[in-house]
A = this chain, B = another copy of it.
Amino acid sequence: MSGTNTGVPSVLAHELPHPVPAGEFAACPVGDVFRRVGDRWSMLLVILLGGRPYRYNELHRAIEGISQRMLTRTLRGLETDGLVRREVFPTVPPSVEYSLTPLGRTLLPPLSVLADWAVQHEAEINEARSRHPGARERGR
């Protein structure tokens, strides 16, 4: 793993000196977090569950656009990382409740800051994009 960060406040507060060892960053927890939250549904689920616990189909209906497959996979991923808790109630029919763990809840404020940035600078980004006609991926 990357070096031992013993309570280092902010890895970005001070600028990175030199050639980033790549392994010191790409493999470091920061990249990990961005990937976990950067996929299509994780962030949305964390935010949703930040409000209150949800049942499986409740989430499925709430998001409306996510497939069962991805809902399950994303929830499992979040659960694996200790951000979401899955609780099964042996009722008939069975019901499963998903909620944020304490760790998951601590992720809300940082997420909020970035979300805040996005909202505040949305216009600038769109403006910049419209200025670059063909620059956008020529995929498809």
Interface residues on A, range: 35 or more
Q: CB-CB < 8 A to A19: which residues of B? A: 61-62, 64
Chain A interface, DSSP helix/strand/loop, else mixed: helix
Select A113's contact among B80, B114, B129, beta carbons within 8 Å.
Answer: B114
Select A125's contact among B52, B61, B81, beta carbons within 8 Å.
Answer: B81
Shortest 10 CB-CB distances between A and B: which pairs? A38-B38, A82-B128, A15-B51, A12-B112, A29-B122, A33-B118, A22-B65, A29-B118, A110-B117, A19-B62
CA gap between A65 and B103 in the complex, in Å: 32
Contact of A34 with B32 in the complex, beta carbons under 8 Å = no
Q: CB-CB < 8 A to A122: which residues of B? A: 1, 5, 29
